[in-house]
Each structure stands twice: as C-alpha cells, then as structure tokens.
C-alpha cells in the first residue's frame, strides 16, 4: 500500500540517526516498547552489529501491549536506500501479521498517526492501515 508522502520542502535535512531518536522518543511517549540493536566498533575499527541469522533486520521493533500491535520499522534519510539484505527482510515482513514500514523524515505525519493512533482506538488505526485482524 503506497502512502502519500509529505514533500520535505522547507525542512532542513536530518540524519537517519537523529530521525531515529525522534521516532524512538515519539514511540515511547505513546506507550510503545522499543528495541534497536546498536552497532559496536570491532577490534579492527569497523562498525558491526552482532547478528546470528540474516543481516539487514529493520532498525526498530515497536510493540504495544494494549493495541496488540507490532511494527518493524526500517528508517532512512530522505535519500537513503534499502540494501539488498534489507529488501529481503522487507519482502518477508510486508506479508506478515505485524506491520512493516520503511520510514523517512517526510513520513512524519504517518509515523505520528500510527504511533499515536488517530483516536486512541486501535481499530481506527487498523482500518487506516488496512489491517485485518486475525481470529
Ligand atoms: Mg536504517
């Protein structure tokens, strides 16, 4: 489902790292549990994220108890592109019951709407997203 993007005209560019901090802060504000695996510097000075299994996993996993929702979010700057490994994860997660999104700074209104819930009613967000509840 293609979402309409805001044009980032007039907005200063923002790094993925700064954008990620904003999304995490907003998610926590609205009661989401958040996980992000940070890379660490290896002995030879390279930045690596310790991974067992497939690389390219989305930046954030967001889970909300009351809303019974899970979101896998890959974050990018406006010009950032998915790596082939990130595309692989996207192609699998997009068809899973959770929600997969690749978010950029210009998606801020959608991010806020999803994380807040437009009326606080989880069904409202789900209908906005076209999610069918199972069971
Ligand atoms: Mg990213």
Q: What CATH number is given to the structural domain containing 93?
A: 3.40.1350.10
Tell me, in angstroms, the distance from the centre of ligand 1 to residue 40's CA.
Answer: 15
Does residue 85 lie in a domain region? yes
95-135 pLDDT per residue, tens: 988 899 999 999 999 999 999 986 555 555 555 555 544 43
Please tell me the distance between residue 135's alpha carbon and the centre of ligand 1 in angstroms: 33
Distance, C-alpha 18 to centroid of its chain: 14
- What is the total count of domains within the chain? 1
Residue 64 lies in a domain: yes
Task: Please indicate, yes or no, if residue 42 is contained in any of the structural domains.
Answer: no
Task: Give domain status of residue 135, yes or no.
Answer: no
Tell me the CA–centroid distance for residue 33 and ligand 1, in Å: 18
Question: Which structural domain, as residue segments, surrounds residue 84?
Answer: 16-37+54-129
**Distance in Å, CA 118 to ligand 1 centroid:** 26
Is residue 134 one of the residues assigned to a domain?
no
Residue 11 inside a domain? The answer is no
User: Nearest CA to 70 among 92, 96, 52?
Assistant: 96
E strands along 7-119, which residues?
Answer: 33-35, 40-41, 47-48, 60-64, 69-75, 99-103
pTM: 0.77
Cα-to-centroid distance, 102 and ligand 1 (Å): 8
C-alpha dihedral (119, 60, 21, 41), degrees to nearest 10:
170
- pLDDT at 4 (0 to 100): 53
Q: Which residues pair with 100 in a beta bridge?
A: 72
């Amino acid at each position: 489902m293609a979402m309409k993007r805001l044009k980032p005209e007039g907005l200063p560019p923002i790094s993925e790292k700064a954008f990620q901090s904003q999304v995490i802060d907003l998610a926590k504000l609205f009661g989401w549990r958040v996980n992000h695996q940070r890379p660490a510097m290896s002995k030879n000075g390279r930045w690596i994220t310790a991974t067992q299994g497939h690389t390219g996993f989305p930046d954030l996993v967001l889970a909300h108890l009351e809303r019974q929702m899970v979101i896998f979010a890959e974050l990018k700057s406006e010009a950032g592109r998915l790596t082939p490994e990130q595309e692989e994860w996207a192609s699998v997660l997009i068809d899973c019951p959770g929600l997969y999104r690749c978010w950029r700074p210009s998606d801020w209104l959608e991010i806020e709407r999803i994380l807040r819930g437009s009326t606080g009613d989880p069904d409202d967000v789900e209908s906005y997203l076209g999610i069918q509840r199972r069971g």
